[in-house]
Every structure is written in structure tokens, then in C-alpha cells.
């Protein structure tokens, strides 16, 4: 798993996690897995959609999320933790400023959307290069078959 339960300590105090989850580590693991999957969904491009082959970087999501320890990208980890915190406090927001948590969650999602659109890039993330772009046309054109009333 990309995130570890100890990572959550960067965004939320341990006593708050214990109080919200009532000591159930399964809830924490579920929130971490959901945050990882949500972040992954923003970084993966749909290669079946022609619009995603417009020249923006294609990130190697498998390599990004297979990293462990200090090899993980710090900014991606921080945004994942912010999203995981949001998933944990949905259960209860004991001693947590809800508006501040929501603002941070919204900023993390906005940043991930900008990254996926190619508005911002991270040169330190591994990328995928397409082997043969020469066969791809920048646009397609054509018309429907002629319709005859019979």
C-alpha cells in the first residue's frame, strides 16, 4: 500500500483518529485505500479517449504508487493524506475544523485536476512515452452514409 496508517499523523492527531474510528484500524485502512484510489484516478489518463493524447505528460501511475518510504513523491503523499483525512472525518469531525479540512480537500482535488489536465507538470514523477505517435491523427473527419428513404 502506498500510504501507511502512520502517514495520517501529518494531517490529523492520533487521539482524533482513535476517537473517530473508535480504535478500528480497518476504517483507517479503508480511508487510506480510498484516498490512494481517488488520487490514482486523477493521474491516470484514458488512453482510449483521443483527447488525452494531446501532448500532455502521461504519468506512470504504477511506478508512482509502488514506491515506498522516502522514495514516494512528497507532494503526492501530502495530497493523498489530505484526501484520506477527509474520508476519516466523514464519520465524525471531533475537534477538527470542518471548513478548514474541506478547503484543503478542495485544494488537493483542484491541484490533482490541474495536474491531470496538463496545466501543471511534475518533472520528478515517472512518465510513460508512447512508442509510435506517427499513426495517430490530431483529429478525425468524415460523414455519415447517405440516407435513402425507401
Per the model's pLDDT, the better-predicted residue between 129 and 98 turns out to be 98
| Confidence bin at 140 (pLDDT 50/70/90) | low
- Is-contact 69 1, C-beta < 8 A? no
Span 27-55, pLDDT tens digits: 999 999 999 999 988 888 766 666 666 66
Running DSSP on this structure, what letter comes out for residue 120? S
Say which residue the cell 493524447 belongs to: 53
Q: What is the model's pLDDT at position 33?
A: 94
Query: Mean pLDDT: which of 63-67, 92-96, 140-144 is highest?
Result: 63-67
Residue pair 71/90 in contact (Cβ under 8 Å)? The answer is: no
**Are 8 and 36 contacting, i.e. CB atoms less than 8 angstroms apart?**
no
Q: Which residue, among 63, 41, 47, has the nearest Cα to 113 in the 3D structure?
A: 41
Q: Report phi then psi at 127, rounded to 5.
A: -120, 165
pLDDT at 28: 94
Query: Cβ distance 32 to 8 under 8 Å?
Result: yes
Q: Closest Cα to residue 98, out of 80, 112, 111, 85?
A: 85
pLDDT tens-place string over residues 110-123: 999 888 888 887 77
CB 46 within 8 A of CB 52: yes
Q: Is the pLDDT of residue 97 over 70?
A: yes
Q: How far apart are CA 8 and CA 88, in angstroms?
A: 10
* pLDDT computed for residue 90 by the predictor: 84
Q: Can you give the pTM of this predicted structure?
A: 0.71
Amino acid at each position: 500500500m502506498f500510504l501507511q496508517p502512520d502517514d495520517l499523523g501529518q494531517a490529523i492527531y492520533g487521539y482524533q483518529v482513535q476517537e473517530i474510528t473508535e480504535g478500528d484500524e480497518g476504517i483507517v485502512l479503508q480511508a487510506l485505500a480510498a484516498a490512494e484510489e481517488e488520487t490514482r484516478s486523477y493521474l491516470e489518463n484514458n488512453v482510449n479517449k483521443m483527447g488525452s493524447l494531446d501532448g500532455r505528460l502521461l504519468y506512470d501511475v504504477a511506478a508512482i504508487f509502488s514506491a515506498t518510504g522516502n522514495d514516494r513523491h512528497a507532494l503526492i503523499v501530502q495530497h493523498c493524506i489530505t484526501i484520506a483525512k477527509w474520508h476519516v472525518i466523514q464519520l465524525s469531525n471531533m475537534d477538527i475544523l470542518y471548513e478548514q479540512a474541506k478547503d484543503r480537500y478542495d485544494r488537493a482535488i483542484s491541484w490533482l485536476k490541474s495536474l491531470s489536465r496538463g496545466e501543471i507538470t511534475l518533472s520528478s514523477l515517472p512518465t510513460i512515452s508512447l512508442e509510435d505517435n506517427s499513426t495517430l491523427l490530431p483529429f478525425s473527419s468524415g460523414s455519415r452514409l447517405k440516407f435513402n428513404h425507401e
